[in-house]
Amino acid sequence: MTQSFYFRQFQSGMDFAKSNPLAVQMVNFSYAFGDRQSGEALLVDPAYDPQELVALVEADGMRVVGAIATHYHPDHVGGMLTGEHHIEGIEELLEQIDVPIHVQREEVEWVMARTSVGPGSLVAHQSGDLLSIGDFAATLIHTPGHSPGSQCVLVEGRLMSGDTLFLDGCGRTDLPGSDPEQMFETLSRRLAELPGEVILFPGHRYSPDSSSPLAAVRERNFVLAPTTPEQWLAMFA
């Protein structure tokens, strides 16, 4: 079964969107995973050049049948960044292929406002929902803090965490929709329940490594050190 699991990690500005200076600067990760037997694949955070991401997946003999947005920020779903830079994303993806975009229900309005994608293209989920792709199933985990409807994707021992948790650090909690108290709850409880052998695949390459077992992340990542809300808020609020 594991041999039929398809998984790719794409770094913006290196694996795709190589001529886009912003993609190079932001070092985002997009992902694709699926079932080699069925040939079906899902994209995670297809920003900067979704058409190229689709082409890369198709070059592997796979077919994109949907996308997952970890959160509404433009470097993950497209839209205007700081009012100056337009980033391609799910809106342009839908111009190429008609597929569902999977988001947490708390993020629907934010994604629509950022991208102009209509509700008919968005599938709203709640935490714990299973998303089937061939013979595999991904668990969508609601991880608020960086944004109201941030989500992580757990499938076949891999956690695609968006901007919720990096190998070093975590997503900012001073942006519209952010909440430092919710971030502490997410990190200290929701993600703490996951086994240490799960491999963390973050939304940006802010560390030399591109992935790491959660056990190692827990040992070295300072944002996981606080054990009480008071300690956390003293550091990050």
Average pLDDT over residues 12-30: 98
Average pLDDT over residues 180-201: 97
Q: Is the pLDDT of residue 2 over 80?
A: no
**CA-angle at 149, arms to 213 and 199, nearest 5°:** 10
Determine the 3-state secondary structure of 237 from DSSP: coil
What pLDDT sits at residue 163? Answer: 99
Q: Is the pLDDT of residue 213 over 80?
A: yes
Which one has a higher pLDDT value, 235 or 98?
98
Task: Fill in the DSSP letter of residue 201.
Answer: E
- Say if residue 206 is exposed, middle or buried (CB neighbours under 10 Å; 0-12, 13-18, 19+): exposed
What pLDDT sits at residue 237? Answer: 65
In angstroms, the CA 131 to CA 42 distance is 10
Sole residue written with tokens 């198709």? 58
What pLDDT sits at residue 226? Answer: 93
In angstroms, the CA 171 to CA 157 distance is 22
User: How many domains would you assign to the chain?
Assistant: 1
| Per-residue pLDDT tens over the stretch 120-179 | 999 999 999 999 999 999 999 999 999 999 999 999 999 999 999 999 999 999 999 999
| Per-residue pLDDT tens over the stretch 38-96 | 999 999 999 999 999 999 999 999 999 999 999 999 999 999 987 788 999 999 999 99
Structure tokens at 17: 């969107």
**Contacts of 216 by beta carbon, 8 Å cutoff, 6+ apart:** none
In angstroms, the CA 22 to CA 49 distance is 12
Q: What is the CATH number of the domain that holds 6?
A: 3.60.15.10
Residue 206 pLDDT grade (very low, low, confident, very high; cuts 50, 70, 90):
very high
List alpha helices for the chain, DSSP H: 21-26, 50-59, 74-77, 90-96, 108-115, 180-185, 214-220, 229-236
What pLDDT sits at residue 210? Answer: 98
Average pLDDT over residues 185-212: 98
Q: Are 92 and 70 in contact (CB under 8 A)?
A: no
Sole residue written with tokens 């952010």? 178
- Domain hosting 159: range is 2-236
Residue 236 pLDDT grade (very low, low, confident, very high; cuts 50, 70, 90):
confident
Nearest to 208 by CA among 166, 165, 162, 153: 166
The partner residues of 159 in beta bridges, in order of sequence, read 154, 200
What pLDDT sits at residue 118? Answer: 95
Q: Is the pLDDT of residue 1 over 60?
A: no
| Per-residue pLDDT tens over the stretch 189-198 | 999 999 999 9
Average pLDDT over residues 182-209: 97
Question: Dihedral of CA 71/76/77/81: which sign?
Answer: positive
What pLDDT sits at residue 85? Answer: 86
Structure tokens at 161: 């965490």
DSSP string, 38-72: TTEEEEES--S-HHHHHHHHHHTT-EEEEEE-S-S
Whole-structure pTM value: 0.96
